[in-house]
């Protein structure tokens, strides 16, 4: 059965059983506790926690998942992958164990045709109920095993929903491993479907076991995950996930590029490399398509690590030419029909991976040079390569430890891998501690927000219709702690039952303003979302006190809101005009909408020229000047997309969406605030365009009064410049060009005269040189030569024929300066100019620096300069006489 049929069979089965088919959420989750979407239930977490009420009680999905915990197993097992599709069915307080178990058995043995005699079941240690259900379906006792928390108690690896699970495993036969069931061999008895009976809430602790169960969920839920890759491998009768139709075209391309065939499941390092390259290429394509770009931390680091691992294994296979762009292209060709975002972002994906591969190749070359130097030093000292050196190569330059070990082994050296491991573990532990602290604070606040939402409901946002509202204080937080009151001078988080304050989202900053109660006044410093639909106001009590439960008047800073709305509407039009000028690929990748200014990030593969920027700015302002209507309407997500509304990159939308039309140029899904007519958004003045990453550009612009003030300031500067040049403003640029051209010519003439004077001085000094055993030496104190001229003068002298040395000194402004140089032929024998000045520098109270043929020293004791110069000259004579004199 092909993968499209697997997807449709699964979704049709549950759709026929009253499940809503829900699209996959992006790989970037809308959850501060998660780095990447790693499970089908992630997008349903608010329903399971009781934070939001779903429109449906049953759901089914095919969810894109990225899970890095198994990255080191990829290629070494037949079943692990960093990206996979998770087929799932979900119940939110509806059905529970019995239906879940029965449907899983029916679907696998009936619709997918798996042999029931090869299916094994695991249940949690004390789950007698689940075991009885499997027995009633005919599963014999010997094929049901009880396992502990690490295997059969599921959570997201972080505080949140959890519960015991029951897993279905398929016996792939003796060639895959030992007998004894899933408890003995996970390769042979592969887990394919995990049925989670989600009923508890876990606290902070280890990812898989040993964490505390802190309570029960508001309702019992079901969360299941059937691994698409593993099921496809069984149904298509192939050994590994890389040989299924999900990855096979890319897998074949790896073999073509390597010029040899995959050796099969033989356990060799070569077979591992084939699978790693193909699997990681798929992961990279999906991550980039969902908005992840390579970086030094977080999701960006995950992507970079994946790509570099793929590149390294490609080089192991002998693929020396850039290959990632072609490999991700094959992923898009193969999976684009099922996942259209791949095709839409093809150009971005291929540009990003090509640039990253080029950059990593440079890293490998640079790391190789540094490693060669470290190996040579280790040989000289007769020691092995230190763990510190290996760690610095890994941490600073991204140079893989296995390549370091291989290179050292080839040179007959060892690497202190234990010390390397300790340093790496220490770094990872520090990163984990920092991440745990960050998550801990976020989790504590999330718990407080959930308690408020459970007691009072979510915030009713009334800010689209006005800037003031009557409200009631339903929550106060001092840090993560709920409090009953706050007093003057205290900064707290305030939650109202209804609010006119826009909570930061979609790039638009949160509103500020004022909240007044009978007993006190609060300044609202910022507004942001706590949970979906719960607005959190960061506030300072400026007078009196505030208590929970009291009535309040909430008033938004209307002038700031209006300026923000201008920027938001201008951003939509800027987006439309960029696509018109540069092409549809110039799609939004992020934005920041503030009062009077905007920042807009978009996909593009080179700098936007000045002419193109001017064209975009003119189109934006001309369009806004025509005063197009701004219309806001609501529809289902499907209706909005059918009407051509643009969904912004990385944003999360519900089934019911808000659409903003600005004339006929722009139609976008947007929850932000906007002007009523286009002319209210202008003017727009672009102040900068720059690169912010591979294939990403950023435009910054001013809007409204800020744009006018910027224009006025530019006019003032032009007028001032024209006055200095004594010409009318419109003639200032040409007059300035003339002056700069004349200045450049004068500078060239001055440089020519300086060079002529330098040459003459060098000739004069050379005429006074002394002979030292067949070599020449110039050692002079030059009171009339500026310090900055010593180096070029020494270089000029060192170009003279024959072996020789130069030592020059001068003083000015209370500072002594010395320069030493050897001719190139002497420097090539190992003589270092710095050695001439080391002792002399101490005499003048300073130090010497430089390497090879040229060095410089300085100090704050110019009265000692003559003595220092004499000492340097003696050092030069000793060096010129050869090793016997030293």
pLDDT digits (tens, 9 = 90+) for 55-88: 899 999 999 999 888 788 888 888 889 999 999 9
**Mean pLDDT score, 534-550:** 95
What does each C-alpha distance from 454 to 159, 207, 563, 707, 747 come to in angstroms? 18, 27, 35, 45, 75
Q: Tell whether 480 is covered by a domain.
A: yes
Q: Tell whether 587 is covered by a domain.
A: yes
Q: For 247-304, write each residue's pLDDT tens digit.
A: 999 999 999 999 999 998 888 888 999 999 999 999 999 999 988 888 777 888 889 8
Residue 884, pLDDT score:
47
Q: The domain containing residue 98 runs over which residues? A: 3-246
Give the CATH number, domain containing residue 675: 3.30.980.10
CA distance 169 to 484: 52
Q: Tell whether 738 is covered by a domain.
A: no
Q: Are residues 30 and 137 in the same domain?
A: yes
| pLDDT-derived band at 649, boundaries 50, 70, 90 | low
* Torsion of the alpha carbons at 257, 260, 262 and 264, rounded to the nearest 10: 180
**Mean pLDDT score, 381-405:** 78
Is pLDDT of 758 > 50?
A: yes
* Better pLDDT: 793 or 647: 793
| First and final C-alpha spacing in the chain | 83
Residue 207, pLDDT score:
78
Q: Tell whether 701 is covered by a domain.
A: yes
pLDDT > 90 in the chain, percent: 66
Which among 515, 517, 518 is positioned nearest to 526, based on CA atoms?
515
Residue 410, pLDDT score:
64
| pLDDT-derived band at 440, boundaries 50, 70, 90 | low
Q: Are 787 and 808 in contact (CB under 8 A)?
A: no
Out of 412-416, 474-478, 607-611, pick the least confident: 412-416
Which among 421, 390, 402 is positioned nearest to 313, based on CA atoms?
402
Query: How confident is the prediction for the chain on average, in pLDDT?
Result: 90
Instruction: State which of 198, 219, 246 marks the end of a domain.
Output: 246
Is pLDDT of 885 > 60?
A: no
| pLDDT-derived band at 406, boundaries 50, 70, 90 | low
Residue 196, pLDDT score:
95
Q: Tell whether 731 is covered by a domain.
A: no
Residue 508, pLDDT score:
94
| pLDDT-derived band at 385, boundaries 50, 70, 90 | confident
Q: Are residues 28 and 138 in the same domain?
A: yes
Residue 135, pLDDT score:
96
CA distance 7 to 44: 20
Q: Are residues 509 and 623 in the same domain?
A: no
Q: For 697-729, write each residue's pLDDT tens digit.
A: 899 999 999 999 999 999 999 999 999 999 999
Instruction: State which of 526, 556, 586 marks the end of a domain.
Output: 556
Give the CATH number, domain containing residue 11: 3.30.930.10
CA distance 576 to 586: 9
Which among 356, 331, 357 is positioned nearest to 245, based on CA atoms?
331
Is pLDDT of 403 > 80?
A: no
Is pLDDT of 886 > 50?
A: no
Instruction: State which of 519, 539, 556 marks the end of a domain.
Output: 556
Is 670 assigned to a binding site?
yes
3-state secondary structure of 52: coil
Is 111 assigned to a binding site?
no
Q: Are residues 668 and 581 in the same domain?
A: yes
Q: Are residues 337 and 484 in the same domain?
A: no
- Edge-to-edge, what's the strand order for the sheet holding 656-662? 630-636, 656-662, 666-669
Residue 294, pLDDT score:
84
Is 674 assigned to a binding site?
yes
| pLDDT-derived band at 586, boundaries 50, 70, 90 | confident
Q: Are residues 311 and 325 in the same domain?
A: yes
Angle made by CA atoms 434, 435, 437, in degrees to the nearest 5 = 65
Is pLDDT of 435 > 60?
A: no
Q: Tell whether 734 is covered by a domain.
A: no
Total count of domains within the chain: 5
Q: Are residues 134 and 179 in the same domain?
A: yes
**Mean pLDDT score, 612-617:** 96
Is pLDDT of 438 > 90?
A: no
pTM of the model: 0.65
Question: How many Cα neighbours within 13 Å face the side chain of 793?
Answer: 30
Is pLDDT of 134 > 90?
A: yes
Is pLDDT of 669 > 50?
A: yes
Is pLDDT of 646 > 50?
A: yes
* Better pLDDT: 46 or 525: 525
Q: Are residues 281 and 357 in the same domain?
A: yes
Q: Are residues 357 and 319 in the same domain?
A: yes
Out of 152-161, 373-382, 669-678, pick the least confident: 373-382
pLDDT > 70 in the chain, percent: 96
**Mean pLDDT score, 612-630:** 96
Read off the DSSP letter of residue 385: B
Q: Are residues 483 and 591 in the same domain?
A: no
Q: Tell whether 234 is covered by a domain.
A: yes
Q: Tell whether 721 is covered by a domain.
A: no
Q: Are residues 112 and 216 in the same domain?
A: yes
**Mean pLDDT score, 600-614:** 89
Is 568 assigned to a binding site?
yes
Q: What is the DSSP code string of 53-88?
A: --S-SEEEEEEEEE--TTGGGTTTSSS--SEEEEEE
What are residue 167's DSSP bridge partners? 122, 194
Residue 883, pLDDT score:
59
| pLDDT-derived band at 651, boundaries 50, 70, 90 | low
Q: Are residues 214 and 65 in the same domain?
A: yes
């Amino acid at each position: 059965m092909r993968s499209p049929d697997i997807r449709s069979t699964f979704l049709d089965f549950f759709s026929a059983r009253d499940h809503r088919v829900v699209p996959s959420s992006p790989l970037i989750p809308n959850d501060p506790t998660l780095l990447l979407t790693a499970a089908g239930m992630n997008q349903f977490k608010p329903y399971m926690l009781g934070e939001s009420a779903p429109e449906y009680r049953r759901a089914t999905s095919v969810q894109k998942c990225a899970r890095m915990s198994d990255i080191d197993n990829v290629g070494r097992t037949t079943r692990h992958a960093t990206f996979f599709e998770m087929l799932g069915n979900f119940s939110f307080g509806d059905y529970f164990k019995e239906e879940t178990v029965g449907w899983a058995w029916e679907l696998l043995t009936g619709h997918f045709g798996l042999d029931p005699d090869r299916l094994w079941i695991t249940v949690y240690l004390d789950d007698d109920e689940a075991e009885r259900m499997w027995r009633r379906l005919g599963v014999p006792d010997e094929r049901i095993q009880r396992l502990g928390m690490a295997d059969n108690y599921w959570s997201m690896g972080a505080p949140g929903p959890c519960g015991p699970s029951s897993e279905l495993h398929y016996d792939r036969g003796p060639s895959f491993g030992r007998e004894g069931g899933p408890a003995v061999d996970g390769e042979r008895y592969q887990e394919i479907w995990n049925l989670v009976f989600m009923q508890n809430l876990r606290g902070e602790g280890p990812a898989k076991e040993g964490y505390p169960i802190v309570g029960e969920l508001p309702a019992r839920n079901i969360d299941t995950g059937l691994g698409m890759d593993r099921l496809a491998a069984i149904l298509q009768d192939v050994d590994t996930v890389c040989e299924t139709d999900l990855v096979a075209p890319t897998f074949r391309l790896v073999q073509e590029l390597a010029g040899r065939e995959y050796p099969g499941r033989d356990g060799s390092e070569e077979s591992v490399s084939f699978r790693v390259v193909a699997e990681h290429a798929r992961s990279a394509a999906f991550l980039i398509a969902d908005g992840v770009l390579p970086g030094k931390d977080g999701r960006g680091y995950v992507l970079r690590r994946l790509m570099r691992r793929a590149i390294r294994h490609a080089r192991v296979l002998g693929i020396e030419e850039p290959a990632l762009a072609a490999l991700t292209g094959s992923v898009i060709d193969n999976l684009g029909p099922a996942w259209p975002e791949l095709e839409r972002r093809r150009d971005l994906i291929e540009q990003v991976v090509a640039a990253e591969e080029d950059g990593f190749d440079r890293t490998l070359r640079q790391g190789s040079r540094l490693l060669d130097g470290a190996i040579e030093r280790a040989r000289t000292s007769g020691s092995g390569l230190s763990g510190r050196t290996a760690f610095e190569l890994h941490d600073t330059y991204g140079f893989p430890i296995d390549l370091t070990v291989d290179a050292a082994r080839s040179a007959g050296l060892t690497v202190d891998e234990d010390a390397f491991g300790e340093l790496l573990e220490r770094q990872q532990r520090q990163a984990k501690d920092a991440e745990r602290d960050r998550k801990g604070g976020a989790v504590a606040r999330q718990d407080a927000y959930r308690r408020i939402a459970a007691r009072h409901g979510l915030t009713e946002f009334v800010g689209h219709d006005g800037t003031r509202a009557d409200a009631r204080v339903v929550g106060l937080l001092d840090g993560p702690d709920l409090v009953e009151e706050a007093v003057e001078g205290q900064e707290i988080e305030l939650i109202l039952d209804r609010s006119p304050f826009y909570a930061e989202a979609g790039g638009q900053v949160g509103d500020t303003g004022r909240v007044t109660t009978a007993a006190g006044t609060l300044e609202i410093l910022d507004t942001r979302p706590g949970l979906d639909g719960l607005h959190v106001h960061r506030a300072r009590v400026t007078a009196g006190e505030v208590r929970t439960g009291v009535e309040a008047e909430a008033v938004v800073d209307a002038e700031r809101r209006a300026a923000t709305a201008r920027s938001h509407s201008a951003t939509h039009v800027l987006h439309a005009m960029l696509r018109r000028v540069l092409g549809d690929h110039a799609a939004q990748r992020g934005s920041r909408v503030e009062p009077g200014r905007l920042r807009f990030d978009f996909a593009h593969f080179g700098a936007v020229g000045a002419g193109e920027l001017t064209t975009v700015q003119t189109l934006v302002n001309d369009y806004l000047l025509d005063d197009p209507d701004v219309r806001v309407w609501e529809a289902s997500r499907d209706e909005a997309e059918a009407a051509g509304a643009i969904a912004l990159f990385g944003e999360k939308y519900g089934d019911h969406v808000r659409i903003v039309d600005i004339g006929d140029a722009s139609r976008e899904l947007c929850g932000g605030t906007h002007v009523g007519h286009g002319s209210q958004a202008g003017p727009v003045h672009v102040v900068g365009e720059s690169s912010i990453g591979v294939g990403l550009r950023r435009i910054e612009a001013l809007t409204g009064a800020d744009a006018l003030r910027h224009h006025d300031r530019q006019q003032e500067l032009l007028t001032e410049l024209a006055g200095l040049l004594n010409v009318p403003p419109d003639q200032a640029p040409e007059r300035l060009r003339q002056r700069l051209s004349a200045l450049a010519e004068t500078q060239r003439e001055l440089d020519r005269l300086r060079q002529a004077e330098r040459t003459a001085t060098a000739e004069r000094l050379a005429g006074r040189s002394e002979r030292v055993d067949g070599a020449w030496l110039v050692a002079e104190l030059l009171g009339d030569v500026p310090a900055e001229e010593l180096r070029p003068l020494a270089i000029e002298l060192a170009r003279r024929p024959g072996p020789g040395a130069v030592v020059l000194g001068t003083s000015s402004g209370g500072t002594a300066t010395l320069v030493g140089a050897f001719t190139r032929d002497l420097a090539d024998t190992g003589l270092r100019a710095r050695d001439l000045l080391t002792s002399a520098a101490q005499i003048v109270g300073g130090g010497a620096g430089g390497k090879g043929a040229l060095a410089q020293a300085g100090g704050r004791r110019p009265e000692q300069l003559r003595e220092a110069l004499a000492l340097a000259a003696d050092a030069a004579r000793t060096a010129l006489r050869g090793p016997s004199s030293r």
